Chain A
């Protein structure tokens, strides 16, 4: 076989693997709808980390999948989940309640921003947000600069004035500072993955990664992947694979993907860490798996759209294909 034929076969095998993983993840997530459903006390007593956070992640990541996956059946599955999430927020009504309950919290805006970005708006929310986000207090520096990038993204998506300069804040993060690659603990690496997601609009804009940062990530991702594969921290493995796919050259790591595939159970779930939970309690299983499973679907989608880019990069013509036009060519049906 010629080198080109080899590459073609490897490309096809990777696409098959990724599509299966994304499809299986979405199937499990679809079956987990009862656990994503928001309880009646969502705006008052319920723990937002167990209610709004899962739903927010579901919305963010299924929106990416429904708008960019090349396969129509996968887009349709993601679209169904995205619509489900919007309906759970009572078409945005919930966010107005959340803002009134916690006017200085950022998460109602951050989650609302996902829907606003997709063109789903709520007039009550739109009326109240300029007030709460226009305060000087909103501009007080937050403890976590990565989180500030998330708030800036949400402001942009919602059409609000951004309260700080994105690049300045990025410069204060682990990615912006190009922290020593050996000096990162787990949270610092999570931080860097999210710096990349915010910088690239969750992988939609690969070219936004400046060359120096792309080089930094290309160099050190293999070390980080090796480390967290060894620790079997599957959600971080998935996020790092997603980061690789966010790079202008979208390098594909077949070994790491194979390892993540082996961690995915037959029902499509991916455990947070180590082996699948043995608990028979469905709520426990959901808590242990929803995040990694979503990340797998997200990373698999980005890596899938990145295959063309990485193939082109290998063939030495990355410039011709890596642009956003090609990437956004697949629109939801």
Chain B
């Protein structure tokens, strides 16, 4: 199974948990067992694999299995010296979410979470809006309550530009980008009302025809920020 398919499967598990159907969520249960792709899929989806733990009633408390597999992902796929900004930011997001939502133990060197790496932030103010929007959409897993507050503040100053990016992404039928931007906009204050964000999120999900990662952004926008109807 290619990594992208594993990622989609895990995303589907997260979506179901966020929607509240079925058994309480456990990350270790939505991962393929003993599969080297499991940590890779966690790294790709980042903080989102822990999203259901942020909704108490949708999950059992996170267990030691989850902690182990997330540690594996963080250890196996740290951003390299030439890593993209997106890679660094998503890595940070996974660490921050792990600290907040997994057991861990800061007093125990073996069970402490890694230090968050420094991530460049100049692009948030300098990127032209189409580039900014695309990059923000790749970081949509950080549009998560309490995560990356500085990033959210920086993006809030460019809400109109992100909204323009949403329009551009829908025009280009780039549903994943549109959904990621819609999710950020759901988190930010002062989204232009004429954007039609709520119907836009629903539209994007319908148009994407079942894409699990699109569905994940849309359900996150609804469950965490009440947008998207």
Contact = CB atoms under 8 A, between A and B. Distances in A.
Interface of A: 178, 180-183, 215-216, 219-220, 222-224, 226-227, 230
A223 B194 CA distance: 14
B171 A223 contact: yes
Interface in B157-180: 160, 163-168, 170-172, 178
A125 to B, nearest CB: 42
Nearest to B170: A182
A215 B160 CA distance: 11
Interface of B: 129-130, 160, 163-168, 170-172, 178, 192, 194-196, 199-200, 203
B194 A183 contact: no
Tell me the dominant secondary structure on chain B's binding face.
helix
A161 B62 CA distance: 74
B168 A220 contact: no
Nearest to A217: B194
Contact of B167 (A178, A181, A215, A230): A181
Given A222-B164, A223-B165, 10 more contacts: A180-B194, A181-B194, A182-B195, A182-B196, A183-B203, A219-B164, A220-B167, A223-B167, A223-B168, A227-B167
A222 B129 contact: yes
Contact of A180 (B129, B130, B164, B199): B199
Contacts of B199: 180
Nearest to B167: A223
A242 to B, nearest CB: 20
A331 to B, nearest CB: 38
Contacts of A223: 164-165, 167-168, 171
Contacts of A224: 167
Contacts of A181: 167, 194-196
Contacts of B171: 182, 223, 227
A230 to B, nearest CB: 8
A220 B193 CA distance: 12
Q: Closest 9 interchain pairs by CB? A: A223-B167, A182-B170, A180-B196, A182-B167, A227-B171, A223-B164, A181-B167, A178-B194, A216-B194
6 contacts: A180-B199, A182-B170, A182-B200, A219-B194, A226-B130, A227-B168
Contacts of B167: 181-182, 220, 223-224, 227
A222 B132 CA distance: 14
Contact of B166 (A182, A226, A227, A230): A182
Nearest to B166: A182
Nearest to B129: A222
B164 A220 contact: yes
B184 to A, nearest CB: 15
Contacts of A182: 166-167, 170-171, 178, 195-196, 200, 203
A181 B195 CA distance: 6
A219 B160 contact: yes
A224 B172 CA distance: 11
A325 to B, nearest CB: 31
A182 B199 CA distance: 11
A182 B163 CA distance: 10
B200 A180 contact: yes
B6 to A, nearest CB: 31
Contacts of A219: 160, 163-164, 192, 194
Nearest to B200: A182
A219 B159 CA distance: 11
Nearest to A178: B194
A183 B207 CA distance: 12
A215 B193 CA distance: 11
A230 B165 CA distance: 14
A68 B168 CA distance: 34
A310 B4 CA distance: 48
A178 B199 CA distance: 14
B192 to A, nearest CB: 6
